[in-house]
């Protein structure tokens, strides 16, 4: 297993780092074992848009894509390439302003029979998330290390401490939490993400459609008052 810690990812905060763009505008980075980039895009229903060489070129493609629309598009670009990691080849997919790695339905499909790990940020807010899926099941996810959910929310606690994340919430102010999340991802995948790797990779590019909004059919009212009296009521849409 990798011995990565937050210190190995201090480069992401350099003002000259290409990752600085991802942190500024928001990103999602997803790693899937044993599934090719073209198969990842097929599973998520993405439309191929050719290839580009290097992260600079992917950022240029992203900016050009946004310029095609007067308003924010109902899709986003993702770039993906193959990288060696624990147990074989992995696909690394990176997008800016997208949410491929945070969609439960897609991550369940991508991780069927294998492992998928993602981390993300929505930019300046910020909201940062980590997701680990195994065999189609969400095992551990969190925004804050102390607030974990999933089928095995505590399984990574030991590894989290090793990379610099405290699952009790008693965070060390000297630890870069984002860098620690990248280190945690490396521990689970064996993939060392470096500035050079992202800068020099050949990316397959595809347009990923936004997840359709499900039409609501009704609402549930569930209220318990101070005396313990509960009001529970299902209201169908046709009744409103």
pLDDT tens string 124-166? 777 899 999 999 999 999 999 999 999 999 999 999 999 999 9
CB 79 within 8 A of CB 90: no
Model confidence at 197, in pLDDT bands (50, 70, 90)?
Answer: very high
Instruction: State the pTM of this model.
Output: 0.85
Q: Residue 8 gets which letter from DSSP?
A: G
For the chain, give percent helix, strand, coil, nearest 5: 30, 30, 35
Q: How far is CA 174 from CA 10, 144, 145, 231, 234, in A?
A: 12, 16, 15, 48, 49
Does residue 86 come out as left (phi exceeding 0), alpha (psi in the -120 to 50 range) or beta? beta
How far apart CA 49 and CA 67 sit, in angstroms, is 16
Encoding tokens for residue 102? 């945070």
In the prediction, which pLDDT does 187 show? 98
Handedness of CA 71, 75, 77, 78 (dihedral sign): positive
In the prediction, which pLDDT does 60 show? 93
Closest-CA residue to 46 (of 72, 80, 15):
80
How far apart CA 64 and CA 57 sit, in angstroms, is 10
Which run of H or E residues covers position 59?
helix 55-67
Among the residue ranges 49-63, 108-122, 146-160, 211-225, the one predicted with the least confidence is: 211-225
Closest-CA residue to 180 (of 119, 138, 90, 115):
119
Alpha helices in the chain (DSSP H): 19-25, 37-43, 55-67, 104-110, 157-163, 177-189, 195-200
Encoding tokens for residue 130? 């980590």
In the prediction, which pLDDT does 239 show? 61
How far apart CA 30 and CA 106 sit, in angstroms, is 11
pLDDT tens string 22-80? 999 899 999 999 999 999 999 999 999 999 999 999 999 988 887 877 776 678 899 99
CB 179 within 8 A of CB 128: no
In the prediction, which pLDDT does 218 show? 57
In the prediction, which pLDDT does 214 show? 45
Total residues belonging to the chain? 240
């Amino acid at each position: 297993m990798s011995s990565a810690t937050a210190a190995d990812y201090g480069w992401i905060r350099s003002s000259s780092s290409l990752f600085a763009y991802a942190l500024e505008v928001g990103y999602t980075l997803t790693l899937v074992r044993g599934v090719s980039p073209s198969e990842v895009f097929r599973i998520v229903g993405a439309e191929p848009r050719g290839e580009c060489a290097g992260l600079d070129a992917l950022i240029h493609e992203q900016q050009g894509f946004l310029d095609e629309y007067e308003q924010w598009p109902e899709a986003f670009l993702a770039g993906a390439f193959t990288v060696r990691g624990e147990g074989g080849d992995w696909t690394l997919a990176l997008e800016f302003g997208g949410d491929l790695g945070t969609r439960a339905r897609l991550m369940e499909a991508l991780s069927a029979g294998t492992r998928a790990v993602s981390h993300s940020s929505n930019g300046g807010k910020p909201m940062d998330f980590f997701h680990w899926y195994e065999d189609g099941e969400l095992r551990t996810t969190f925004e804050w290390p102390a607030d974990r959910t999933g089928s095995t929310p505590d399984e990574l606690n030991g590894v989290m401490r090793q990379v610099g994340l405290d699952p009790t919430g008693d965070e060390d102010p000297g630890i870069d939490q984002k860098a620690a999340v990248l280190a945690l991802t490396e521990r689970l995948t064996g993939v060392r993400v470096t500035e050079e790797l992202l800068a020099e990779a050949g990316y397959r590019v595809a347009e990923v459609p936004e997840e359709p909004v499900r039409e609501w059919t009704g609402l549930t009212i569930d209220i318990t008052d101070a005396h313990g009296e509960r009001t529970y009521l299902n209201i169908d849409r046709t009744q409103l």
